[in-house]
Structure 1
Amino acid sequence: MTASHEEPEFRQITRPGEATEELRRQLTDCWAAVINAGGAVIAPGFPMPPVTPGHARPVVDRLVDGLAPQRGRLLTARAGGALAGWLVVRRDPHPLVAHCGVVNHVQTDPRFRGRGIGAALMRQVRDLAREEMGLERLNLAVRGGLGLEAFYRELGWAETGRWPGALRVAPGDDRDEILMTLALVPSAARD
């Protein structure tokens, strides 16, 4: 790998007490920066852009406070000591789909875009979900019109459906919500 694409340092947060105040601030700042740069990671409680860290902080706190090793984990990526990106992976609690997980809030700080951070996070979450959480499948939803489905396809994800016009970005700008899935192959089968 070139210096601009060196592998980031990953860390899992599995319990609320593991997330320091400094990490919560970094997650909050990253989220506001991603949204204001056009990222598609709006969550309930957020206004439409522009947003401030104050909008993101209550949502970050709810995410972190809901972490538990077998139910939900936060995965961070650091480059040069700075938070470069993060995501959340959750197990579905219903017994019929408890073998599945959902990946949410995938984001790369705009200062680190183009360095492979997002792809590295997605490879790391695949391994974490399979090997540590015992999941067999991951699902995610992305906003149409941004080319995100191509990014995920390159990483092995498959489109399973669309909800046409489900997301209203602005008046007259409705986008599809694209549903994607990734079957998690046991590591012995990959070798």
Structure 2
Amino acid sequence: MRFVVNPRMTPPFFEEILACWAEVTNAGGAVGFVPPVEPDDIRPTAERALARTGSGLPGSGGSPDAADTLLAGLDDDGGVASLLILADNGSGLRAHWRWVLRVMVHPKHQGRGYGRELMLAADDAARSLGLEALQLTCRGGTGVDGFYASVGYREVGRVPRSIRVAPGDERDEIYMIKWL
């Protein structure tokens, strides 16, 4: 897998991201939606998220001065294997760190260590931006906090029952940080 920071956003690449996001969600991934979803269910959220990155939206040409950074892991065929966003927090007082958002590995690539590779590539991308730390939140009850701990994140807080997956199914939101 090869990683690209702020890849050129073509219409086919954008559609691949939507398809990956939907497949990750439908496979049980906690990336902002509850299954079942179709790519069009995700489109408005993806458009808002990607418009803030250096990749931009298809046809925009992106912006090297964008607040957020898209990191995409591409498989041997150049398809989307994994992705995440390093999101600016909007504060000069917090300019030394970014939020890690929408971490996903396409289901057909899961179990191959791609998630670990993606997170380590995010560390490298963050360092190249001069950052000192990365923060993220994850949904309790999924076990993914253990994965993040294995790549150097530590839990710094938790908000009980703040994520409602379904009526009667509330999960903790777990806050984690990694100092680079």
TM-score with structure 1 setting the length: 0.84
- For 2:166 and 2:15, locate their aligned partners in 1 and report how far apart those are by CA, in whole Å: 29
- For 2:130 and 2:88, locate their aligned partners in 1 and report how far apart those are by CA, in whole Å: 9
Kindly indicate whether the alpha-carbon contact (under 8 Å) linking 1:24 and 1:61 is maintained by their aligned counterparts in 2.
no
Kindly indicate whether the alpha-carbon contact (under 8 Å) linking 2:5 and 2:125 is maintained by their aligned counterparts in 1.
no
Provide the alpha-carbon RMSD of the alignment.
1.3
Any idea what the Cα deviations from partners look like across 1:134-160, whole Å, max 9, x if unmatched? 111110000001111110111010100
**Which residue in the other structure is 1:189 paired with?**
none
Kindly indicate whether the alpha-carbon contact (under 8 Å) linking 1:91 and 1:135 is maintained by their aligned counterparts in 2.
no
- For 1:85 and 1:149, locate their aligned partners in 2 and report how far apart those are by CA, in whole Å: 18
Any idea what the Cα deviations from partners look like across 1:93-144, whole Å, max 9, x if unmatched? 211111110000000111110011111010001111112x111111000000
**Which residue in the other structure is 2:161 paired with?**
165
1:128 aligns with 2:118: no
Identity %: 40
Range with bigger deviation, 23-32 or 167-176 = 167-176
1:12 to 2, 5, 29: 5
2:37 to 42, 48, 51: 51
1:33 aligns with 2:26: no
Shift of 1:91: 2.3
For 1:126, give the aligned amino acid.
Answer: D
Matches within 5 A, 1:141-156: 141-156=137-152
- For 1:140 and 1:40, locate their aligned partners in 2 and report how far apart those are by CA, in whole Å: 13
SS in 2 for 1:182: strand
Which ranges in structure 1 are unaligned for 5 or more consecutive residues? 1-7, 185-191
Shift of 1:92: 2.0
The alignment covers a number of residue pairs equal to: 169
**Which residue in the other structure is 1:77 paired with?**
73
**Which residue in the other structure is 1:113 paired with?**
110
